[in-house]
Amino acid sequence: DIQMTQSPSSLSASVGDRVTITCRASRNIGSYLNWYQHRLGKAPRLLIYGASSLLSGVPSRFSGSGSGTDFTLTITSLQPEDFATYYCQQTYSPPRTFGPGTKLEIK
């Protein structure tokens, strides 16, 4: 199975900050990488697919980059509703493993 890691595991930031979350795959997954946002008690929300494609309706302050084994999610100008946990997920091969998550908290 492909293992996914994320760093940092948690992050404190302020409204208006720019933050970057890193995801690494245990082997080359091309661009088969998605990013999700999950707030407690809510359904997870897809943000980015194919490593860098923004889902329609997702604010442009979210962006994704990378390919192969190393990927990043960047959020510019943090908004109050962005404080949540973020997960990467590979869809290169089953099982479609998620990373362990990065919890973004308000400083």
45 binds another protein (CB under 8 A): yes
Smaller CB separation from another protein, 17 or 24: 24
Burial class (CB within 10 angstroms; exposed 0-12, middle 13-18, buried 19+) of 17: middle
Say if CB 16 and CB 78 are below 8 A apart. yes
Maximum CA extent, the chain: 38
Q: Using the rule CB under 8 A, give the single segment among 16-24, 61-69, 70-78, 93-101 that binds another protein.
A: 93-101
- Distance between CA atoms of residues 1 and 14, nearest Å: 36
50 binds another protein (CB under 8 A): yes
Smaller CB separation from another protein, 19 or 51: 51
Instruction: Find the shortest distance in angstroms from Cβ 15 to another protein.
Output: 25
Residues 58-87 binding another protein (CB under 8 A) are 85, 87
List, in sequence order, the alpha helices (H) in 1-107. Answer: none
Count of CB atoms within 10 A of residue 44's CB? 14
Residues interacting with another protein, by CB under 8 A? 1, 31-32, 34, 36, 38, 42-46, 49-50, 53, 55, 85, 87, 89, 91, 94-101
